[in-house]
Amino acid sequence: MDSIRQAPSRNPATTGEANQPHLLIVEDDGSLAAGLARALGMEGYKVEHLDTGEKAMERMAQVDFDLLVLDIGLPGIDGFEVLRRLRLAGHVMPVLVLTARDAVGDRVHGLDLGADDYMTKPFALPELAARVRALIRRGQAGSGPRTTHGPLELDRAGRRAFLEGAPLELAAREWAVLQILLEKVEKVVSKESFIESLTNWDEDLSSNAIEVYISRLRAKLEPAGIKIRTVRGFGYMLEEYADRKA
Ligand code: CA
For residue 219, the one-letter residue type is: A
- Same domain? 53 vs 119: yes
What DSSP letter does each residue of 222-239 carry, written as one string?
GGGT--EEEETTTEEEEP
pLDDT score, position 206:
82
- Same domain? 70 vs 159: no
Residue 192 lies in a domain: yes
Tell me, in angstroms, the distance from the centre of ligand 1 to residue 35's CA. Answer: 14
Domain hosting residue 206, numbered range: 147-245
CB neighbour list of residue 15: distance below 8 Å, 6 or more residues apart? 44
pLDDT surpassing 80 at residue 112: no
Predicted confidence (pLDDT) per residue in 158-204, tens digit = 677 889 888 898 887 888 899 889 989 999 999 988 888 777 544 56
- Same domain? 101 vs 170: no
Q: Among 211, 161, 172, 176, which residue's Cα sits nearest to residue 191?
A: 211
pLDDT grade for 2, boundaries at 50, 70 and 90:
very low
Tell me, in angstroms, the distance from the centre of ligand 1 to residue 49's CA. Answer: 13
- Same domain? 157 vs 88: no
- Same domain? 157 vs 185: yes
Residue 7 lies in a domain: no
pLDDT score, position 162:
87
Peptide bond into 122 cis (omega under 30): yes
Residue 6 lies in a domain: no
Tell me, in angstroms, the distance from the centre of ligand 1 to residue 118's CA. Answer: 14
- Same domain? 95 vs 154: no
Residues with CB under 5 A from ligand 1 (ion): 28, 71, 73
- Same domain? 135 vs 115: yes
Tell me, in angstroms, the distance from the centre of ligand 1 to residue 47's CA. Answer: 18
- Same domain? 108 vs 169: no
- The sign of the torsion formed by the CA atoms of 79, 85, 89, 90 equals positive
- Same domain? 125 vs 64: yes
Residues in the chain: 246
Chosen domain end from 124, 141, 158: 141
pLDDT score, position 14:
40
- Same domain? 159 vs 174: yes
Tell me, in angstroms, the distance from the centre of ligand 1 to residue 204's CA. Answer: 27
pLDDT score, position 158:
65
Tell me, in angstroms, the distance from the centre of ligand 1 to residue 84's CA. Answer: 18
| Mean pLDDT, rounded, for 86-99 | 86
pLDDT score, position 79:
94
The rounded distance, in Å, linking the Cα atoms of 83 and 71 is 10
Tell me, in angstroms, the distance from the centre of ligand 1 to residue 131's CA. Answer: 20
Chosen domain end from 115, 141, 167: 141
pLDDT grade for 7, boundaries at 50, 70 and 90:
very low
- Out of 5-9, 145-149, 162-166, give the one with best mean pLDDT: 162-166
Residue 166 φ/ψ, nearest 5 degrees: -100, 145
| Mean pLDDT, rounded, for 52-67 | 94
DSSP type of residue 101: -
Tell me, in angstroms, the distance from the centre of ligand 1 to residue 85's CA. Answer: 19
Predicted confidence (pLDDT) per residue in 96-105, tens digit = 999 876 666 6
Residue 28 lies in a domain: yes
Residue 38 lies in a domain: yes
pLDDT grade for 93, boundaries at 50, 70 and 90:
confident
pLDDT score, position 178:
93
How many structural domains is the chain composed of? 2
pLDDT score, position 243:
65
Name which residue leads in pLDDT, 214 or 20. 214
Rounded to the nearest integer, the mean pLDDT of the chain is 83
CB neighbour list of residue 39: distance below 8 Å, 6 or more residues apart? 125, 128, 129
138 within 8 A of 94, measured Cβ to Cβ: yes
pLDDT grade for 153, boundaries at 50, 70 and 90:
confident
Chosen domain end from 81, 112, 141: 141
- Same domain? 188 vs 94: no
Tell me, in angstroms, the distance from the centre of ligand 1 to residue 129's CA. Answer: 19
For 105, the enclosing helix (H) or strand (E) is helix 104-112
pLDDT grade for 230, boundaries at 50, 70 and 90:
very high
- Same domain? 28 vs 117: yes
